[in-house]
Structure 1
């Protein structure tokens, strides 16, 4: 494994992601909607994928496999987020409104730093990807096949969860109600669970490569962010504000993250 080449790829990826986020910050500043950062955080990964595919020196078949699934997953997520955000570009999401209010006249400067940290996180989370694409072994390991299988389950699960929620919200009869059908019957956040499972799949895939154990950093960071920082906490807070009684009951009976059977 050529570590100098790995560092070079990571540096090029970082420069590209930081540049993209700087441009997006200018756009967000003009339209006064920092929520667009979520879309381009996801779409930065395809940029990293393209850079790595052409610069990494690993086994071509392995590169095609990991680049294909990484590209497919992140493009799907980016497009899904774009469809969610594009409908209300003139209305900033609550969490960004709160940050803007707390930061006051320093909001634009702080959002620039925030956007750059998102770019840094893109490269940090891509560690499994860098490790895998540097692997020169011509044998595809059983661990890599297991990783692919888990990824397929996670990809389908997240896509189904997103579609079930979108269909529920689209029906006017469900206004003020909580989506608790399909995958949402077993978890309050199945979309977040399957997003995390996707990163676990990359970790398992990376275990077949030298220093693959270092890839654990990605699912660990994603799990922390989703359950403690931006994902579950923000979503729960918003739902408790919009439908307090119904959502409290939902919380009492349904697993927060990992899909499981209803509580009595």
Structure 2
């Protein structure tokens, strides 16, 4: 399979899967399932490209393992976080604003998600079809970045879940653990994760393409669907959040500033 055919077929599969998720939400009236399926779809693309790539087996096994495990962890976390709960505030807001055209616009949104997943997967594609292996040191660097990023995101998610489950913190702002140093440590480590595939691509003429997914993810989280919507909601629902914004780094973990 050529890189082009692998990419096109991968996009078609993800678009079909998200179309099915859209059809399901027509009945459930809850679009939140798109989040875990989107993450699982990206893990699938890593495995899909690794299965049909032309790189040496060691590189493709590493790629499929890293990308697949990342997608499985994040997708499973999002699934269990959303299961049995009301629709996420973001999608409820879309549903109110879109009114009678909500079904058509939601379909377009889901397909846009498929396109974003496909664009992010270009880092996987470059690695899967590279000539030869990256050096042992570069492969080790990629694994190190992956471990730090996935562990950091997992810890941040766990700390937030524990905070939400504590009845004594109801209505408060989480400033525990990693959340003391960043308002969005999960987003920081999520963006960092995409840099793990850059060392695996070094040595190819298109290694720089592997940087694009990290830039896309950071832009999406900081400027589009992540921080802006979430923080607008938090400022309205949590009186202490404005002070948290003044004292705490938005993205990169950093010691908090004085509130004075």
* Bucket of the pairwise TM-score, normalised by the shorter protein: over 0.9
The aligned residue for residue 227 of structure 1 is 222
Shift of 1:138: 3.9
The aligned residue for residue 64 of structure 2 is 67
Q: Could you tell me whether the CA contact under 8 Å between 1:56 and 1:133 is conserved in 2?
A: yes
After superposing the two structures, state which structure 1 stretch, 180-189 or 210-219, moved more: 210-219
TM-score (norm. length: structure 2): 0.95
Q: Could you tell me whether the CA contact under 8 Å between 2:3 and 2:53 is conserved in 1?
A: yes
Please show how residues 1-150 of structure 1 align to structure 2 within 5 Å: 5-88=2-85, 91-138=86-133, 140-150=135-145
Q: Which runs of 5+ in 2 are unaligned?
A: none
The aligned residue for residue 154 of structure 2 is 159
What does the per-residue CA deviation read over 1:109-157, in whole Å, with 9 as the maximum and x for residues that have no partner?
A: 1111111111111111000100001113145353332121111111110
Q: Does 1:248 align with 2:242?
A: yes
What does the per-residue CA deviation read over 1:2-40, in whole Å, with 9 as the maximum and x for residues that have no partner?
A: xx7000100110110011011100001111111211111
The aligned residue for residue 256 of structure 2 is 262
Shift of 1:225: 0.5
Which secondary structure does the structure 1 equivalent of 2:234 belong to?
Answer: helix
The aligned residue for residue 176 of structure 1 is 171
Q: Could you tell me whether the CA contact under 8 Å between 2:234 and 2:241 is conserved in 1?
A: yes
After superposing the two structures, state which structure 1 stretch, 39-48 or 139-148, moved more: 139-148
Which secondary structure does the structure 2 equivalent of 1:101 belong to?
Answer: helix
Which secondary structure does the structure 1 equivalent of 2:256 belong to?
Answer: coil
Counting matched residue pairs gives 258
Q: Could you tell me whether the CA contact under 8 Å between 2:47 and 2:67 is conserved in 1?
A: no
Shift of 1:235: 1.7
Question: Which whole-Å CA distance do the structure 2 matches of 1:182 and 1:100 have between them?
Answer: 35
Please show how residues 177-216 of structure 1 align to structure 2 within 5 Å: 177-216=172-211
Q: Could you tell me whether the CA contact under 8 Å between 2:50 and 2:60 is conserved in 1?
A: yes
Question: Which whole-Å CA distance do the structure 2 matches of 1:214 and 1:158 have between them?
Answer: 24
Which secondary structure does the structure 1 equivalent of 2:2 belong to?
Answer: helix
Q: Could you tell me whether the CA contact under 8 Å between 1:37 and 1:115 is conserved in 2?
A: yes
